[in-house]
Amino acid sequence: MSQQQVSPAKQLIGSIELAPDKSIAQRAAIFSLLHEGTSTIENFSPAQDPQSTLSCVAKLGAKVDIDQSIVRIEGVGRDGIKAEINELDCGNSGTAMRLLSGVLVGAGIPVTLIGDPSLSSRTMTRIIKPLEQMGAHILARNSAYAPLFITREDPLVPMDFRLPIPSAQLKSCILLAGLFGEEPTRVIESIPSRDHTERLLQLPVSELHGERIIEASRHLKIPAQNYRIPGDYSAAAFWLVAGSIVPNSEIQLPHVGLNPTRTASLKILQEMGANISIETHSESFAEPVGTLTVTSSALKAFDIPVEWIPNAIDELPILAVAMAFAEGTSHIRGAEELRHKETDRIMAIAQLLQAIGAHFRELPDGLEIIGNPNLEFESATFESYHDHRIAMASAVASLRGSKSSFIHDAEAAAVSYPDFWTHLGALSAN
């Protein structure tokens, strides 16, 4: 278990090639398995979560050929999936476990999905119940946790499913199972969650009374996944905040994914007074991409509208750091989902804020943060709780200390962003 030392930064200057988008990379791998034929994915992510998904896909029959960051996948199509071994390891990845569960139920292949201690402590009830309604039989530890033993002997039952929580993992899981049904499965969402699955699979989407209805069935062709994966907006967010709160900074982030269902934190930071310029590129595939440039600025408090939370869900830890250095009192509410991430992120953010001496109140569904642009601390010691986003948010907070700070279990960053520490060093070098 590594401890990372982070020195204070006088300024952050440079251009960063971000880690490839984790959500898109994992979908690219799974959808390539479902496509019958070759997919060529450029800029595939070396991070642990996408690599876990890729190795699961290979064990379900796809031929995977890796040439540096280019991954070629010979997909077997919906009817060619077979389990070469009966246990698949999803590592730390909730996306892998939830999306693959949908595929396995659809394909009717009996497999056990396992994960690391963090993933094995996250509830899977949200997928187990609807998948059972679709005909699956799922044996889970305490009826809720991995290992998940998944079978389906009865015919697949397509269904109309109204999302009880705005979760893209749950939405994708049900749609993936639905792709195997003769009749359509429809997922209805009232609060939009990230829409990479719909875009990359080109699923029919309609709108009725302000709700989105996404449809999947066996009759839809699964397209080849031929594209270059953009930089991960969720990785960019760490630098957007770092570049804002460290004086005299300018950070450029080329080729970053700017899917609007992911970038609510961009709006939030701009509302807080962050100086971020956005140059959008022409769309070369289903996802919008652009270049972001951030320069330092004074930040002011902001109350995040509850309906923006799902589109900022992964950025809330780093937004909390921005709020700690902003003028005034900010609120993050309606974010109870954070308690079910890689760790209880509301608790972990509270510990992070405590470590830098920020004023805050932990709430059942979020935090109240009493910001201070002149917040001063010497040296802090942080726990990552083995959570990549907490490790990286702690690193950004450390930049404002007057002496070096320390982050326990900092290697967790590699789950989504293996080069994070190298990039931090490069930006601080000037």
Binding residues for ligand S3P, per CB under 6 A?
Answer: 23, 95, 167-169, 172, 193-194, 313-314, 337
C-alpha closest to that of 244 among 403, 18, 400: 400
SS3 14: strand
SS3 217: coil
Provide, rounded to whole angstroms, the least separation between the CB of residue 172 and ligand S3P: 6
Provide, rounded to whole angstroms, the least separation between the CB of residue 164 and ligand S3P: 12
Between 89 and 195, whose beta carbon lies closer to ligand S3P? 195
Provide, rounded to whole angstroms, the least separation between the CB of residue 408 and ligand S3P: 22
> Any long-range contacts for 165-168 (C-beta under 8 Å, 24+ apart)?
165/126, 165/337, 166/190, 166/191, 166/192, 166/193, 166/310, 167/126, 167/193, 167/310, 167/337, 168/23, 168/193, 168/194, 168/195, 168/196, 168/197, 168/261
Could you count the other beta carbons within 10 Å of the beta carbon of residue 277?
11
Between 45 and 172, whose beta carbon lies closer to ligand S3P? 172
Provide, rounded to whole angstroms, the least separation between the CB of residue 357 and ligand S3P: 29
Between 311 and 428, whose beta carbon lies closer to ligand S3P? 311
C-alpha closest to that of 263 among 15, 23, 16: 23
Place of tokens 């600025």: 297
Pairing outcome for strands 250-257 and 13-15: parallel
Omega prior to 147 cis, within 30 of 0 = yes
C-alpha closest to that of 98 among 35, 175, 163, 205: 175
Between 168 and 349, whose beta carbon lies closer to ligand S3P? 168
Place of tokens 């190298």: 422
Pairing outcome for strands 275-280 and 145-151: unpaired
Provide, rounded to whole angstroms, the least separation between the CB of residue 281 and ligand S3P: 22
Between 167 and 384, whose beta carbon lies closer to ligand S3P? 167
Residue 262 DSSP label: T
Provide, rounded to whole angstroms, the least separation between the CB of residue 220 and ligand S3P: 20
Between 98 and 400, whose beta carbon lies closer to ligand S3P? 98
Q: Which residue is nearest to ligand S3P (CB)?
A: 23
The 3-class secondary structure across 321-362, one letter per residue, is HHHHCCEEEEEECCCHHHHHCCCCHHHHHHHHHHHCCCEEEE
Measured at the CA of 21, the angle between CA 37 and CA 213, to 5 degrees, comes to 70
Residues annotated catalytic, as ranges? 314
Q: CB under 8 Å to 304, separation ≥6 — which residues?
A: 264, 268, 312, 319, 330, 331, 332, 333
C-alpha closest to that of 197 among 403, 366, 24: 24
Between 237 and 358, whose beta carbon lies closer to ligand S3P? 237
Beta bridge partners of 405: 6
Provide, rounded to whole angstroms, the least separation between the CB of residue 194 and ligand S3P: 6
